[in-house]
Amino acid sequence: MLDELEKGPWPSHVTELKKGQYPIKAYARGLGEGLSPWFGGSARIRCEFTGFIARRTKDGQQTEVHFRIYHPSGQFYRTDELRKLLDFCDKFGLGSVETVGQTGDLVMPIQPELADQAVDELRALGTDIGGTGDTFRDSAACVGPALCEYALFDSLAARDYFFRYPAFYEKLASQPFPFKIKLKFSACPMDCARAAHRADFAFVGLWEGAPEVDPTALRAKVEAGEVSGKDLAARCPGKAIRWNSSTQELSIDGAKCKKSMNCIRQAFPAIKPGPNRKIAFMMGGHSKGRSGPKMAKPVALLDDWKSAAEFMDRVMAHWSDRSPHKDRLGDLLVEEGFEKVVDQFKEHLPVEPAGHVVGAPRIVNSSVLTDQERETFAAWADAIAREYEG
């Protein structure tokens, strides 16, 4: 079974895992049985309550302990630093790394008997374990101004700020919440950090009104054949762009602009985000939770990210007070009413709440089917598979 997974052209995780000491036999058995081989295990690391996860196989023959390690914002590494981390992994781990886990962290399987010592060695490298259980998960930011010309605020600095914000920082080492809490920062509406869906508190860069057009620079791009004014107008999702082909002039109606970034990405910097920059602050998005996956809801348009901290702290305290274990913040907002919760804590915001909530039905991505239904769908899939075999 495992060999089959190494035969294709794409580099295989199995090949990579085999180079280290990861308990690959357990994985092979899982694939053979069609069941995950892992049960919850236990490991004891002194004074550590978040940041590591222990597993054991059902028969207890194999164990697996892994660290969740904080990445620096932007996940940049100089090679000398990276090699230190890899040396650490070879010494204390199993020679295997998941470069970015689903929460955005660095995942590293560790030798259980060395785990306690490993924590101190890792701290000496300038980072730490954290982000498991009912606490702040590793927050995530898009690459922002470090590499991207569209950044409307410093998403990386914002992540750093909340890492160290005292009321949040003191909770990193414990599990004080009903469930996980995630913060994500995207510096423009492209939302590369997937903040609007995957974060309990989301910060997305935005501007008010129309994008700013530099007519001279735009004309130069049009004349050079790099940009077509007609095409920009046709592809604008808000139909906000008017292109006057005789005067070669472009105008944008700010009230209709959907901030889709289409014209900006085509014609930057001749067309760029408007000067009135804001941060769209949203809350309650998540994939995992009682009431199903959902998008975040709009709270306020902020001038800076710092001004949201007090409001966030109060809302999290309220959530901890009200919600049962394994209910996300988004679940509480469904239960109590989003507007009601915002209203209760809006005095801690520097501005009046803004935005309107778009409702959506619950999404269920699983199903409970009869044998006959499964057969129907299996037959449909089989027909398609034959098409591609033929």
Partner 1 sequence: MSPTPASSAEVRAPTYRLKKNVPVPYTQNLPDIVRRNIGHWTDRKYHGTGIIEHISDTGDHLFTVKAGATPNARFSTETLRKFAQIADDQGLGSLRFTRSGSVEILADSLERALAVKKAVEEIGFFVGGWGHTLWSVNSCTSYLTCTTAVVDAPSITQALYDQMVPYFTGEIPLPAKLRINVAGCPTACGGLVADIMLAGHYGAAPSYDPDKIRLCLPTNAKVLSHVVPEVQMVCPVNAIESFARPDGSVGINIIEKKCIGCGRCKDVCDHITWDPSKVGVSVLIGGKSSNTGVGPTLARVLVPWIPVRPPKYREPVAVVRKIIDVWRAGAKPGERVADYVNRVGMKTVFEALKVPVGLWNRPAELNTGFGVREFLPR
Residues in contact with 305: Cβ distance below 8 Å, sequence separation at least 6, in sequence order: 153, 158, 161, 162, 185, 203, 279, 281
Comparing CB distances to partner 1, the nearer of 247 and 362 is 362
Comparing CB distances to partner 1, the nearer of 193 and 312 is 193
Note whether 373 binds partner 1 by CB under 8 A.
Answer: yes
Q: Which of 258, 277, 306, 322 binds partner 1 (CB under 8 A)?
A: 258
Comparing CB distances to partner 1, the nearer of 151 and 349 is 151
Comparing CB distances to partner 1, the nearer of 81 and 310 is 81
Comparing CB distances to partner 1, the nearer of 37 and 112 is 37
We find the least distance from the C-beta atom of residue 23 to partner 1, in angstroms, to be 10
Comparing CB distances to partner 1, the nearer of 246 and 364 is 364
Cα 15 to Cα 378: distance, rounded to the nearest angstrom: 31
* 157: enclosing H helix or E strand: helix 155-164
- Amino acid making up residue 383: A
Give buried/exposed letters for 301-315 (b at 16+ CB in 10 A, else e): bbeebebbbbbbbbb
Of 280, 305, 265, the C-alpha closest to 154 is 305
We find the least distance from the C-beta atom of residue 347 to partner 1, in angstroms, to be 21
Residues in region 133-152 near partner 1 by CB under 8 A: 140, 142-143, 145-149, 151
| Binding range to partner 1, per CB under 8 A, among 113-121, 244-252, 307-315, 341-349 | 113-121
We find the least distance from the C-beta atom of residue 223 to partner 1, in angstroms, to be 17
- Tell me if 17 sits within 8 A of 27, measured CB to CB: yes
Torsions phi, psi for 340 (to 5 deg): -65, -45
Note whether 105 binds partner 1 by CB under 8 A.
Answer: no
Cα 248 to Cα 241: distance, rounded to the nearest angstrom: 13
Of 128, 130, 103, the C-alpha closest to 199 is 103
Of 27, 9, 7, 30, the C-alpha closest to 17 is 27
Pairing of strands 201-207, 183-186: parallel
Q: Which of 43, 110, 193, 333 binds partner 1 (CB under 8 A)?
A: 193
We find the least distance from the C-beta atom of residue 86 to partner 1, in angstroms, to be 4
Instruction: Sketch the per residue contact string, 292 through 311, with partner 1: x for CB under 8 A, - otherwise.
Output: xxxxxxx--x----------
First to last CA, the chain: 24
Residues in region 308-367 near partner 1 by CB under 8 A: 324-326, 354-358, 360-361, 363-367
Identify the sign of the CA torsion 254, 257, 260, 266: negative
What DSSP designation does 362 have? P
Note whether 70 binds partner 1 by CB under 8 A.
Answer: yes
Comparing CB distances to partner 1, the nearer of 76 and 215 is 76
Residues in region 203-232 near partner 1 by CB under 8 A: 204, 206
Q: Which residues pair with 301 in a beta bridge?
A: 280
We find the least distance from the C-beta atom of residue 314 to partner 1, in angstroms, to be 22
Comparing CB distances to partner 1, the nearer of 34 and 225 is 34
Q: Which of 117, 244, 248, 251 binds partner 1 (CB under 8 A)?
A: 117
Comparing CB distances to partner 1, the nearer of 244 and 350 is 350
Hey, is 31 helix, strand or coil? Answer: helix
Residues in region 10-49 near partner 1 by CB under 8 A: 10-17, 19-20, 22, 27, 30-31, 33-40, 46-48
How many residues lie near partner 1 (CB under 8 A)?
A: 161
Torsions phi, psi for 182 (to 5 deg): -125, 140
- Amino acid making up residue 354: A
